[in-house]
């Protein structure tokens, strides 16, 4: 499957659209449509469930997008968060110097070759002003990663949540980067969402925790339905490793445009808390009450983009097959992740009333579609294409025998079950 096929499915079925499309769009910004937002919420809920709710050593945070700008001086983003940029003198196109595609032809030169400038460093942080009067307002940054506020709030969270190392703080939220060349659909955007967790540990325990988090994250990626054959670890070599990092691995995924980073699991040492301590003058060290040892905790970070995760899930799930001489497109999304867990369908419009009641009852607990239009086979195909795992059909016998037909998306097998049992049937499968 190529990327264009996936983009067109996302556009036509209401997963993802270009932002402000009627004005020509804006590069690197995307809107999630009715199905996209349901799926996105499921991805975030699945992450939160594993990373926060099922653990007693990780707590959540939802910090502001704009922080005191000194944050970004201390983190090194103001000085170092740069990408090398080149311009074509002929066609005026702009590229990231390390990502000039040899196949990209120049429209303004005779030989189609770009006439590139020397690389210049370009800071990727998006800036804005805070304050009513232009002259007195402060320049601030839209956060480039969600984790910095976790470091700033480390002590407050630890104390108020009665935690102590080893413990973690998790956050899901928007991040912004003025990428020079946003590309590959939502893979590299200028506005995106991250799911990050920073785990604070005693320096001696850092490597063990790092390995444990690598395992936990790998398991989660499989649990939400990513194809294991498309996943691999990439260990940062000495040339890629940040100077402060003890170890770093990325999970790479085989997207339709090749292998690229999906998630990072990094052992950041004490760099973050130490930098903010030095820069703010506020002590972010920890004193163990039992041993009286005082130390700056080391940090193990797990960081994954919601948008990249969506793209990886859609890539893993997309399938086509021939059924009775016809092509069937099916998104084999896990029941936890699919936009709708079930579609409730009356066999005929005459059955709309009781079927509508069943749909309303199920909607109190699950995300459920109700579709009355078209032949039943066509309705099944529509649901297959958007990944709905179960179709529940109410037919003319349902009134008498109190049963409905449940069709499973992947096997297309059908079974008849009691109307009262549908809720239990769906709960069992969404939790499986
Ligand atoms: N706090 C560490 C950090 O931000 P990163 O590797 O720059 O590390 C972490 O970003 C994750 O955020 C990436 O693995 C990716 O999933 C996602 N991400 C980063 N830049 C992105 C972009 N421009 N568009 C979409 N997702 C992005």
| Closest C-alpha to 387, from 362, 358, 367, 405 | 367
pLDDT at 132: 81
Query: Is residue 188 within 6 Å of ligand 1 at its C-beta?
Result: yes
| Closest ligand 1 atom, residue 177 Cα | 23
Rounded Cα distance, 156 and 112, in Å: 58
pLDDT of residue 98: 87
Tokens of 297: 């905790």
Q: What is the pLDDT of residue 44?
A: 98
What does the block give as tokens for 35?
């199905």
Neighbouring C-beta atoms of residue 312, cutoff 10 Å: 27
| CB of 298 closer than 8 Å to CB of 167 | no
- Cβ–Cβ under 8 Å, residues 252 and 232: yes
Dihedral of CA atoms 254, 256, 261, 265 in degrees, nearest 10, equals -50
Ligand 1 atom having least distance to the Cα of 266: 2
Q: Where are the beta strands (DSSP E) in 202-257?
A: 231-235, 247-255
Q: Is the pLDDT of residue 305 over 90?
A: yes
Whether residue 166 has a cis bond before it, omega within 30° of 0? yes
Q: Is 255 in the pocket of ligand 1 (CB under 6 A)?
A: no
End-to-end CA separation in angstroms for the chain? 28
Binning pLDDT at 50, 70 and 90, where does residue 168 land? very high
pLDDT in tens, 115-129: 999 999 999 999 999
Mutate to test the pocket of ligand 1, among 174, 264, 306 (most ligand atoms within 8 A of CB): 264
- Read off the pLDDT of each residue in 256-261 and give the average, rounded to a whole number: 98
How far, in Å, is the centroid of ligand 1 from the Cα of 14? 25
Residues of the chain with CATH 3.30.930.10: 3-72+141-314
> Looking at residue 330, what is its pLDDT?
98
Q: How far is the CA of 393 from the centre of ligand 1 (A)?
A: 42
Average pLDDT over residues 355-377: 97
Listed in order, the ranges of the chain carrying CATH 3.40.50.800 are: 340-430
Q: Is 388 in the pocket of ligand 1 (CB under 6 A)?
A: no
pLDDT at 270: 97
What's domain 3-72+141-314's architecture?
A: 2-Layer Sandwich (3.30)
Give the residue from 405, 409, 406 showing the smallest Cα distance to 388.
409
Smallest CA separation from ligand 1 atom 4, residue:
145
Topology classification of domain 340-430:
Rossmann fold (3.40.50)
For residue 212, pLDDT over 80 is answered with yes
Task: Give the CA radius of gyration of the chain.
Answer: 25
pLDDT the model gives residue 41:
98
pLDDT average, residue stretch 228-241: 96
Give the per-residue pLDDT at 135.
Answer: 65
DSSP for residue 296: P
Contacts of residue 64, defined as CB under 8 A and 6 or more positions apart, other chains included, come to: 149
Q: Which residue has the higher pLDDT, 278 or 104?
A: 278
Residue 431 CA to ligand 1 center (angstroms) comes to: 29
What is the whole-number distance in angstroms between the Cα of residue 304 and the centre of ligand 1? 6
Q: Is beta strand 58-61 parallel, antiparallel or unpaired with respect to 167-176? A: parallel
The CB of 252 under 6 Å from ligand 1? The reply is no
Contact 363, 409 (CB under 8 A): no
For a pLDDT cut of 90, what percent of the chain falls above it?
Answer: 94
Please tell me the number of Cα atoms within 13 Å of 135 on its side-chain side. Answer: 0
pLDDT of residue 99: 84
108-147 burial, b at 16+ Cβ within 10 Å, e below that, comes to eeeeeebebeeeeebbbbbeeeeeeeeeeeeebbbbbbbb
**Mind listing the pLDDT tens digit for each residue in 59-95?**
999 999 999 999 999 999 999 999 999 999 999 998 9
pLDDT band at 103 (very low <50, low <70, confident <90, very high): confident
Ligand 1 close to Cβ of residue 189 (< 6 A):
yes
Burial class (CB in 10 A: 0-12, 13-18, 19+), 402: exposed
Residue 60, token pair as written in the block: 């959540």
Mean pLDDT for the chain overall: 96
Residue nearest to atom 23 of ligand 1 (CA): 188
What is the average per-residue pLDDT within 283-312?
A: 98
| Mean pLDDT value of segment 338-359 | 97
For ligand 1, the distance from its centroid to the CA atom of residue 262, given in whole angstroms, is 8
**Average of per-residue pLDDT across 358-379:** 97
When pLDDT is averaged across residues 330-337 and rounded to a whole number, the result is: 98
Which residue matches tokens 């999630």? 32
Q: What would the DSSP string read from start to end of 82-131?
A: EEEEEEBTTT--EEEGGG--TTPPPSSSTTS---BPPPEEEE--EEEEES
pLDDT band at 137 (very low <50, low <70, confident <90, very high): confident
Q: What is the pLDDT of residue 133?
A: 72
Dist CA 128 CA 66 (whole Å) = 9
Q: What string of H, E and C letters represents the secondary structure of 16-68?
A: EEECCHHHCCCCCCEEECHHHHHHHHHHHHHHHHHHHHCCCCEEEECCCCECC
Q: How far does residue 107's CA lie from ligand 1's centre (Å)?
A: 32
- β strands within 270-354, DSSP E: 286-287, 294-295, 298-305, 318-323, 326-331, 342-346
Model pLDDT, residue 39: 98
Q: Is the CB of 263 under 6 A from ligand 1?
A: yes
> Averaged over 162-173, what is the pLDDT?
98
Determine if residue 11 is left, alpha or beta; phi over 0 gives left, psi from -120 to 50 gives alpha, anything else beta.
alpha
CA 194 to ligand 1: nearest atom:
12
Q: Which atom of ligand 1 is nearest to the CA of 264?
A: 14
Which residue of 77, 192, 242 sits with most ligand 1 atoms within 8 Å of its CB, as the best mutation to test the pocket? 192
Instruction: Report residue 220: phi and psi, to 5°.
Output: -65, -40
The response to whether residue 194 sits with its C-beta less than 6 Å from ligand 1 reads yes
Share of the chain above pLDDT 70, in %: 99
Q: Which residues pair with 122 in a beta bridge?
A: 83
Cross-strand pairs, 327: 322
- Among 199, 231, 303, 306, which is best to mutate for testing ligand 1, by the most ligand atoms less than 8 A from CB? 303
In this structure, the residue with its CA closest to atom 7 of ligand 1 is 145
Best mutation site among 142, 145, 168 for ligand 1 pocket (most ligand atoms within 8 Å of CB): 145
Q: What was the pLDDT predicted at 136?
A: 64
What is the reported pLDDT for 411? 97
Mean pLDDT over residues 87-109, rounded? Answer: 90
């Amino acid at each position: 499957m190529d990327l264009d096929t996936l983009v067109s499915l996302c556009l036509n079925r209401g997963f993802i659209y270009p932002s402000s499309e009627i004005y020509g769009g804006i590069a690197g910004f995307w809107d999630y449509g009715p199905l996209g937002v349901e799926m996105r919420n499921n991805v975030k809920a699945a992450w939160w469930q594993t990373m926060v709710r099922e653990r007693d050593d990780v707590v959540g945070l939802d910090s502001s997008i704009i922080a005191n700008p000194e944050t970004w001086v201390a983190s090194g983003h103001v000085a170092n968060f740069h990408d090398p940029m080149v311009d074509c003198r002929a066609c005026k196109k702009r590229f990231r110097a390390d990502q000039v595609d040899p196949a990209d032809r120049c429209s303004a030169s005779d030989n189609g070759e770009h006439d590139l400038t020397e690389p210049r460093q370009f800071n990727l942080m998006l800036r804005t002003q805070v304050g009513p009067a232009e002259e007195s307002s402060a320049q601030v940054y839209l956060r480039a990663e969600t984790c910095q506020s976790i470091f700033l709030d480390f002590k407050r969270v630890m104390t108020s949540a009665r935690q102590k190392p080893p413990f973690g703080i998790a956050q899901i939220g928007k991040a912004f980067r003025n990428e020079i060349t946003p590309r590959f659909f939502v893979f590299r955007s200028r506005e995106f969402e991250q799911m990050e967790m920073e785990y604070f540990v005693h320096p001696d325990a850092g490597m063990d925790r790092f390995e444990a988090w690598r395992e936990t994250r790998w398991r989660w990626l499989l649990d939400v339905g990513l194809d294991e054959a498309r996943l691999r670890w990439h260990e940062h070599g000495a040339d890629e490793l940040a100077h402060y990092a003890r170890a770093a691995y990325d999970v790479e995924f085989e997207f339709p445009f090749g292998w690229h980073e999906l998630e990072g699991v990094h052992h950041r040492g004490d760099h973050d808390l130490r930098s903010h301590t030095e820069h703010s003058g506020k002590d972010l060290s920890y004193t163990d009450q039992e041993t009286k040892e005082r130390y700056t905790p080391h940090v193990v970070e797990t960081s994954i983009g919601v948008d990249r995760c969506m793209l990886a899930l859609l890539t893993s799930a997309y399938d086509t097959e021939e059924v009775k001489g016809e092509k069937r497109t099916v998104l084999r999304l896990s029941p936890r992740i699919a936009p709708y867990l079930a579609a409730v369908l009356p066999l005929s419009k005459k059955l709309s009333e009781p079927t509508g009641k069943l749909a309303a009852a199920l909607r109190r607990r699950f995300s459920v579609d109700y579709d009355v239009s078209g032949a039943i086979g066509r309705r099944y195909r529509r649901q297959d294409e958007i990944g709905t795992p179960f179709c529940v059909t109410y037919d003319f016998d349902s009134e008498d025998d109190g049963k409905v037909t449940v069709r499973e998306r992947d096997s297309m097998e059908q079974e008849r079950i009691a109307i009262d049992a549908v809720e239990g049937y769906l709960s069992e499968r969404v939790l499986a």
